[in-house]
Structure 1
Amino acid sequence: MVFCSLSVSYIGMRTISRIRATSTNEELTEAFWGLWYFQAIAGFITTVLTASFVAIFKVQYWNYFLLMLPFLISAEFDIAWFFQGLADFGKVVLRNTIVKLTSVGLILLLVKSPNDLYKYVLIMSLSTMLGSFVFWLNIRSYVGKPVKGFYKFNQTKAAIITLLIPQIATQIYTSLDKPILNFFQNSTQVSYYDNSQRIANMILGVITSITLVMMPKMASESKEKQAGILKKSLEATVMLGTIFSVVVMANTKEFVPFFFGNKYIPMTNLMFFFTLTIILIPVGGVFANQFALANRRDKDYAIPVCVGAVLEIVLSVILDKAWGATGALISVLTTEFVVLILRIWIVRDGYQFKYVFKDIPKYFLIAAISLVIGLFLPQMLPSAFLNMTIKSIIIMTVYIGLMFMFKFDFNQDIINLVNKMLKRNA
């Protein structure tokens, strides 16, 4: 799927956002079709090669790989980047919601036993493919007829090559950690490590959506306006990252046996510290996706990810054998921290560090105070669920109260957002 999309999602999003702000509908048409041609050709070739290889050599689970080919077709026809570039996120969210609900409904209806694995695979792949096709139903309302050539062929080709490398590197250091751990340790250690990430990864999906929304905004704005947007976006990301991290950390001891069961109590410390990725990854994304990509600094985007891929593999090989899941955790946190520092440092010439980071240390101080209070709160009720709920409410109240005591500039943005929501509901 990475080879099918060829990084066109990133290139297309920023290109469409710029054209939307400055150019005509004719150039919008040329950009859309000219960029999608790269995706279409790459997707067709990748799908044919994959199907041929799997069918000819009969690799293990070859029949399931063939049932997964709709995933590749979906990547070939996925033009969500066009609507994201137009800042029309409603269609993307609606599409994803329909796909998820449909697939869940069909799974509950049709998948009854292990023998229905092929049904499960087909439901997942076909629903994803049909979700991509949905975007094409009204594309002619936005662009004209297909054009003949590629869009800025040499420039786009160079961007694709530059951005494809970090995408592959990302797959390496986000996917190889578990196989490496499994090579040196048993399945129990892998299970502890894998499950300790689940809650953090769910929250990451929410926070990193800010980056997705803000990237087209950054790409369409002038350098002067970008500074203010970058500062606000960073503060929003740090605020959400720290408040979610503190809530999860304070509840980890109760949450693990409640949600996973007593057998998973040994992974409590893993989950506690893995929560730090909720801060590290989204903050790095602010400077990578919103700043580097939005300003066509593709090499500056690629370098930290490639360094991270190499570092993750080296640390995993060194630490996993001796310390198991703990070693894998140290590898991940070290890698993400190094990647974050590189992302901030490598684009330092494009923003004023003191201005952008002026209030950030205060957010970490607030988070530390809130965490200490949360860890020392007693169990007020016998119900673990209710106890965690009350503790979370207290922690968030303390955090928000401290924010307004520090009188951040960002507080006014929060007040304005709440007022808008109240007026809309009214």
Structure 2
Amino acid sequence: MKRTLLNIFYNAIYQIFLVLVPLVTVPYLSRNLGPSTYGIYSSVNNTIQFLMVFCSLSVSYIGMRTVSRIRAKSTKKELGKAFWGLWYFQALASLVMIIATTLVVYFAKIQYWNYILLMIPFMISAQLDIAWFFQGLQEFGKVVLRNTTVKLLSVGLIFMLVKEPTDLWKYMLIMSVSTLLGSLVFWVNIKDYVGKPTLHFYKLKESIIAIITLLIPQIATQVYTSLDKPILGWYQNSTQVSFYDNSQRISNMILGVITSITLVMMPKMAAEGKEAQKVILKKSLEVTVMLGCIFAVVVMINTKQFVPFFFGNKYIPMTNLMFWFTLTIIIIPLGGVFANQFALANQRDKEYALPVVIGAICELVLTFFLDRNYGATGALIAILIVELIVCILRVWIVRDDYSFTYIFKDIPKYGLIALICLIVGLFIPNLIPSVFFNMAVKSVLIMILYALLMILFKLDLNKDIAFMIKKMLKRA
């Protein structure tokens, strides 16, 4: 358990770092590039993110699960067979997609074709990305250190080279090449872990079935997490796309921190028995919902001041979008506990796939009616409905493997606490002239209120928090 907590700490620190980086770069970029130019980047980037699904083929999920199961009882030779045999699927699929994308984009000259070509290194990075191997070994420290170094390099280049809207191509090239470098560094000492390459596909038939089963939900997920921006761009201008994409940006940063728990706990869950899994599931769900609620409330009470302060006055029209999109900070991680952590760990791949496939179908139908008539607001309504449907299905579809009353015993209390804090927070006046310090003070006050209400409601998680604090104090 000590190693698991350490991995959660490493991953949480990295995710917080990923939050802090955009807090520095996004205000700079949103002002220098402007809403319209930023909208072009959003459309191109999310198109590439969709294509990258066909490069990785869900090998990251299968690989992490496979490595975590064989690391304790198998030899280096067996680990090597699993690694190379799984990576070949990823390498071959990526090669086909990179060549096909380059040829189609270049000869068909589709919209923003020149920018898409600048993002090809993103697809190469997906081919070389083997972070799943180290995550399966639960060596999250290596993943964090190497990615952090590359991220800092990209931030420095952004401030040096991106000065105006015409520098969009520089920004795209920096982002794509830095991501490629982040994937390359994992190969430096890979032979120390797996030895020389072995020419075979790992458990060919079984792996192909798993890849196809998990690829379907990956494609479906991208329909409403990446393709929603290009789809909105078909019906509206790039400014609407920029408002919609940026309204999600802060929430997505926070989601990265919260879902890092799921990323760490999945290999842990895969290695445990059924009874231990139930306890882990309950604690993980409570931590996830607790963090989701408090972060959501803090963002919502500060949105009106935060948007012009962070993005600039040109982005004020997206204030309501950002306020309501914050609800996903609670909805997405809650469903993710049952999908990414529980269903995948127990090889219930079909149960993992079905909710997101249904969600993708709903997204396509809803966007057709809402995006055309209501623009970014319509896209927001569509994504909230879809995420809620997916969350409910994820919880319901694996209900035979856990006790609902046991797992969800305290969850309604977190919802009530969050609602109380939100109402109080919205009525706190702006007492300090400085926008930044005003938001900071309000956030601290609401966090204190949240903690007091947790004590008042006598939540089970309080004991675990008290135990961890005592251990930390003893070590100090």
Q: Considering the TM-score relative to the shorter chain, is it more than 0.5? A: yes
Aligned to 1:74: 125
2:463 matches 1:408: no
Structure 2 residue aligned with 1:92: 143
Of 322, 325, 333, which residue of structure 2 is paired with 1:274? 325
Q: 1:383 to 1:113 in 2, by over 3 A?
A: closer
SS of the residue corresponding to residue 224 of structure 2 reads helix
Query: Is it true that 1:135 corresponds to 2:186 in the alignment?
Result: yes
What percentage of residue pairs aligned between the two structures are identical? 71
Equivalent position of 2:79 in the other structure:
28
Q: Any idea what the Cα deviations from partners look like across 1:271-318, whole Å, max 9, x if unmatched?
A: 221110000011111011001111111111111111111101211222
- Worse-superposed segment, 120-129 or 358-367: 120-129
1:363 paired to 2:440: no
Work out which of the residue numbers 361, 370, 374 in structure 2 matches 1:319.
Answer: 370
Give deviations 1:172-211, integer Å, cap 9, x for gaps.
1123333443444455544433332222111111111111
Residues 400/190 of structure 1: CA separation in 2 closer, same or farther (3 Å cut):
same
Residue by residue, what CA displacement relative to the aligned partner does 1:104-149 show, whole Å, maximum 9, x if unpaired?
Answer: 2223334455555554443322222222121111112222332232
Q: Following TM superposition, by how much is the alpha carbon of 1:242 offset from its aligned partner in structure 2, in angstroms? A: 0.2
1:332 CA drift (Å): 1.1
The answer to whether structure 1 residue 18 and structure 2 residue 106 are counterparts is no
Q: Which residue of 2 aligns with 1:202?
A: 253
Q: What's the counterpart of residue 418 of structure 1?
A: 469
89-98 or 403-412, which deviates more:
403-412
Indicate the residue corresponding to 1:374 in structure 2: 425
Distance 1:320 1:53, change over 3 A: closer
Q: Larger relative CO (CA 8 A, sep 6+): 1 or 2?
A: 2
3-state SS of 1:128 partner: helix
Determine the C-alpha separation between the residues in 2 that align with 1:94 and 1:290: 24
Match of 1:37 among 88, 93, 102: 88
331-340 vs 373-382, which moves further: 373-382
TM-superposed deviation, 1:62 = 4.6
- Summarize the alignment of residues 178-327 of structure 1 with structure 2, pairs less than 5 Å apart: 178-327=229-378
Report what 2:175 is aligned to. 124
> 184, 209, 230: which one pairs with 1:158?
209
Tell whether the 8 Å contact from 1:21 to 1:220 is kept in structure 2 after alignment.
Answer: no
SS at match of 2:190: helix
Partner of 1:109: 160
1:386 aligned residue (434, 437, 449) = 437
Q: Count residues in correspondence.
A: 425
Letter in 2 for 1:275: T
Q: Once structures 1 and 2 are overlaid, which stretch shifts more, 395-404 or 321-330?
A: 321-330
Deviates most, 272-281 or 18-27: 18-27
**1:397 and 1:203 mapped to 2: Cα distance?**
19
State which drifts further: 255-264 or 147-156: 255-264
The answer to whether the Cα contact below 8 Å between 1:237 and 1:282 also exists between their aligned partners in 2 is: yes
Moved more, 369-378 or 295-304: 369-378
Q: Work out the CA distance in 1 between the residues paired with 2:431 and 2:137.
A: 49
In structure 2, what is the equivalent of residue 174 of structure 1? 225
Measure how far apart 1:233 and its partner are: 0.5
The farther-off stretch of 190-199 and 335-344 is 190-199
Q: Which residue is equivalent to 1:147? A: 198
Question: Which SS does the other structure have where 1:142 is aligned?
Answer: helix
Over 3 Å counting, the alpha-carbon distance change for 1:293 and 1:49 in structure 2 is same
Unaligned runs of 5+ residues in structure 2 are 1-51
1:73–1:148: structure 2 CA closer, same or farther, 3 Å change rule?
same
2:43 alignment counterpart: none
Distance 1:114 1:246, change over 3 A: closer
Deviation digits for residues 362-415 of structure 1 (CA, Å, limit 9, x no counterpart): 111111111121122222222222111111111000111111222222112223
User: How has the CA–CA distance of structure 1 residues 207 and 40 changed in structure 2, closer, same or farther, with 3 Å as cutoff?
Assistant: same
- Distance in 1 (CA, whole Å) between partners of 2:201 and 2:74 is 18
105-114 or 249-258: bigger deviation = 105-114
1:55 to 1:365, Cα distance in 2 relative to 1, 3 A: closer
CA contact (8 A) 1:13 1:216 kept: yes
Structure 2 vs 1, CA of residues 420 and 126 (structure 1 numbering), >3 Å: closer, same or farther?
farther
Relative to the length of structure 1, the TM-score reads 0.93
Paired with 1:330 and 1:59, the residues of 2 have a C-alpha distance of 29
Q: Residue 139 of structure 2 aligns to which amino acid in structure 1?
A: D
- In the TM superposition, 1:322-361 aligns within 5 A as 322-361=373-412
Deviations 1:204-239 (A, max 9, x none): 111111111111111111111100110011001000
* Pairwise CA RMSD: 2.1
Q: What is residue 29 of structure 2 aligned with on the other side? A: none
1:318–1:50 Cα change, 3 Å: closer
Distance in 2 (alpha carbons) for counterparts of 1:384 and 1:347:
45
**1:7–1:402 Cα change, 3 Å:** same
Which amino acid in 2 is paired with 1:279?
A: I
Question: Normalising by the residue count of structure 2, what TM-score does the alignment of the two structures yield?
Answer: 0.84
Distance in 1 (alpha carbons) for counterparts of 2:116 and 2:314 = 34
Moved more, 277-286 or 45-54: 45-54
Cα shift readout 1:75-130 (whole Å, capped 9, x = no counterpart) = 11111000001111111111211111111222333445555555444332222222
Q: 2:102 aligns with which of 51, 58, 70?
A: 51
